[in-house]
């Protein structure tokens, strides 16, 4: 009888032949060996398949699909993976050597938890350090964390190890979202499962090189995800706290819309935010949008 598969690594990729090699190598370098590496090629045209088959052979499980986006690729990978645990890894990110060992040990000691995260070293496109995302800054203690992350639901998928039962319960990533699919997933899991943190940077994540976060529609995706999450959290999280979280979301994304010259949409969000909560900090953020927006408007009128 073949030994049971404990951990499946799920790696979606699209036209990142060189970067995905770094990601796979980081999985193969784990101090606790990963039992299965599933690479889902989302329709690459840069020779990814030939490159990976020659380099890794049967050490990875390579599958190809017509281009459908990162969420569909992650979901495809999880649908065919055989492990008790799923470990996510985007093809431009890397695990540090102790990642699997420390998170698996943490989860095995806490059978009532669905997912564990870790801190993340963020780097630029040349792999130079930017900063460290420390999850305890947002997730104050392990357990039912929705009331904390509703204010800042950021998730680096590469930092997560989760039980396969979580996917059976809440489903995978929403393929209709081009961006914000990670925070949508994080919020849905947090509503139904306990989540914890290993307080160590066990992942290196690349930021700012693919341009998705700069797209104007990013703000619409983020707002839509948060509105759905707040609505579904009613009765679970205090109403005043939900209103403040949604107002904070509107304020952040209003600023982003000003950066992309979406003046009308920005002020609509700012108005909604002001009416939602009497919170002074949120109102202060909104008041600072006025001079910021005026400066942006003047700059947009200048030649060149």
The answer to whether residue 111 is domain-embedded is yes
Q: What is the dihedral of CA 234, 240, 244, 249, to 10 degrees?
A: 10
Q: Quote the pLDDT of residue 304.
A: 60
Same structural domain for residues 121 and 251? no
The answer to whether residue 172 is domain-embedded is yes
CATH of the domain at 24: 3.90.550.10
CA proximity to 61, closest of 139, 126, 5 = 5
Q: 41 is in which domain, residue-wise?
A: 7-205
pLDDT per residue as tens digits for the range 233-282: 999 999 999 999 999 999 999 999 999 999 999 999 999 999 999 999 99
Same structural domain for residues 104 and 195? yes
Q: Quote the pLDDT of residue 2.
A: 54
Q: Is 197 helix (H, G, I), strand (E, B) or coil?
A: strand
Who contacts 275 (Cβ-Cβ below 8 Å, separation ≥6)?
none
* Axis-axis angle for helices 48-56, 17-28 (nearest 10): 30
Please identify, among 159, 183, 205, the residue that sits at the C-terminal boundary of a domain: 205
Who contacts 265 (Cβ-Cβ below 8 Å, separation ≥6)?
219, 254, 257
Same structural domain for residues 177 and 51? yes
Please identify, among 205, 234, 266, the residue that sits at the C-terminal boundary of a domain: 205
Please identify, among 205, 240, 260, the residue that sits at the C-terminal boundary of a domain: 205
What is the average pLDDT across 127-152? 95
């Amino acid at each position: 009888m073949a030994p049971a598969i404990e951990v499946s690594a799920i790696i979606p990729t699209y036209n990142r032949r060189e970067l995905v090699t770094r990601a796979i190598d980081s999985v193969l370098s784990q101090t606790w060996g990963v039992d299965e590496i599933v690479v889902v090629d989302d329709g690459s045209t840069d020779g990814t398949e030939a490159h990976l088959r020659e380099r890794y052979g049967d050490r990875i499980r390579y599958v190809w699909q017509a281009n459908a986006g990162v969420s569909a690729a992650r979901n495809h990978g999880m649908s065919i993976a055989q492990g008790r645990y799923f470990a996510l890894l985007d093809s431009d990110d890397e695990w540090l050597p102790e990642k699997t060992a420390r998170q698996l040990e943490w989860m095995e000691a806490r059978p009532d938890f669905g997912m564990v995260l870790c801190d993340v070293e963020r780097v630029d496109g040349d792999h130079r350090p930017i900063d460290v995302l420390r999850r305890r800054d947002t997730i104050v203690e392990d357990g039912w964390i929705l009331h904390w992350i509703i204010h800042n639901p950021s998730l680096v998928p590469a930092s997560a190890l989760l039980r396969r039962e979580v996917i059976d319960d809440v489903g995978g990533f929403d393929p209709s979202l081009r961006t914000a699919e990670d925070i949508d997933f994080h919020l849905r899991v947090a509503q139904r499962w306990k989540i914890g943190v290993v307080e160590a940077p066990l992942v290196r994540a690349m930021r700012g090189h693919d341009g998705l976060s700069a797209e104007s529609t990013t703000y619409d995706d983020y707002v839509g995800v948060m509105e759905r999450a707040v609505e579904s959290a009613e009765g679970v999280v205090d109403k005043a706290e939900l209103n403040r979280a949604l107002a904070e979301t509107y304020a952040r994304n209003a600023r982003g819309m000003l950066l992309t010259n979406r003046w009308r949409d920005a002020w609509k969000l700012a108005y909604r935010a002001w009416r939602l909560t009497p919170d002074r900090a949120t109102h202060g953020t909104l008041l600072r949008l006025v001079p910021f927006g005026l400066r942006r408007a003047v700059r947009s009128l200048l030649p060149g």
